[in-house]
Amino acid sequence: MQLFIAITPYQILTKEDLNHYIEISEHIDLLLIRTPMNHQNLFATIDYLITHGFPKNKIMLHTHTSLVATFDLKYVHFKENDAKAFLFKKQHPDISVSMSTHNIETVTKAQKNNLDFVFFGHVFESSSKQGAKPRSLEEIKNVLSIDIPIFAIGGIDEHTIQKLPKGFQGVCTISFFRNAGNSAIKSLRKEWDSYV
């Protein structure tokens, strides 16, 4: 099971961005490419990553199912309550399908529709969700009782991971993995090892 999922910021990705993810690829388990780029530019982005040494088996796309097939990728992620996720999983049981979730109802729906895992959050204050209150400890505990692997998202770094309620299968971050070098990620993994 994947432990550390890096998520690209929702923007046009530059070669500098891609080279950073290539550089840290050994220390992350998946890279979720979530970007407003068109099909052609996204194709070029994936091709660049693969030809420059980023492991194909660590690439996850956000909703671009046609490119999942084109590159024979094994992971695709969908936004909360996107019915296409459930249909895609039914049609492609060999592909790992995940979904963003923010409440127990969506987590339960994902589990009942045989999705492979979910992101749940945000669990801490996050620059991506400025001003929005994190999920309560009660919400988190209730969600963690559902029988599906759940990954924490939102405000996670080497300090907050120590406060993460027990039961998550891994973590996803945008900011931390975007800004961290290999040594910082190793520190996060060390903190994760003491978490589990």
Mean pLDDT of all residues in the chain?
94
Show the tokens assigned to 42. Answer: 């996204």
First to last CA, the chain: 13
Closest CA relative to residue 139, chosen from 98, 174, 106, 113: 106
Angle at 87 between CA 82 and CA 93, to 5 degrees: 120
pLDDT in tens, 14-54: 999 999 999 999 999 999 999 999 999 999 999 999 999 99
Reduce the DSSP state of residue 187 to 3 states and report it: helix
Per-residue pLDDT band for 2 (boundaries 50, 70, 90) equals low
* CA-angle at 186, arms to 17 and 52, nearest 5°: 35
Domains of the chain (ranges, CATH numbers): 4-195 (3.20.20.70)
**pTM across the whole model:** 0.95
- Going by C-beta distance under 8 Å and a sequence separation of 6 or more, which residues neighbour residue 196? none
Phi-psi region of 3 (alpha: psi -120 to 50; beta: other; left: phi over 0): alpha
Q: Which pLDDT does position 83 carry in this prediction?
A: 96
Count of CB atoms situated within 10 Å of the CB of 131: 5
Tens digit of each residue's pLDDT (9 = 90 or more) over 56-114:
999 999 999 999 999 999 999 999 999 999 999 999 999 999 999 999 999 999 999 99
